[in-house]
Amino acid sequence: MSEIVILASQSPRRKALLAQIGIAVKVVAADIDETPLAGENAALYVQRMASEKAMAVVARVEQAPVIAADTSVIVDGDILGKPESRAQARAMLTRLSGRTHQVMTAVALYAKGQLRLSLAVTDVTFGDLNAEQIHCYVASGDADDKAGAYGIQGAAGKFVQHISGSYSGVVGLPLYETAALLSEAGIGLE
């Protein structure tokens, strides 16, 4: 394993993805306001969120490097974050049904006094979903706490007709971009 990296996230998916590429992490959750600014476009929003998460943790711990990420689902220019209710989750999935949307994941790495950023954009096409499929998926709890109300790595994978871009970026941490940032910072990978 390489040196320990602070992960500014409680996401078990991000922790597992980093382990997949040989990065040992210590989790220190970032607590920030994730409200989009008025008129803020999605790409700038996810980059700002990843940066703010990283810097919030850097301010609390003396150790570095710190890595953070933010993932949003974008449809019709609207940012679909984590649903606040099961009704909102059903509405999000209804909106995604039979359409292509984008998943944007920004990664921020603070190391050696420098903040580095990367952005992965993936197009995801859902097949047509009926009300029963949406109801059962939301009732399973798998939509909870996930951007756009779905996790591609779980049962919602059956909704995905086509993907163009980073699969791991849709899960929550684009591995190619993350490995490139770590390499730029001189942090070894196995």
Annotated catalytic residues are 70
Amino acid at 80: L
Query: CB under 8 Å to 52, separation ≥6 — which residues?
Result: 30, 32
**140 backbone dihedrals φ, ψ, rounded to 5°:** -70, -20
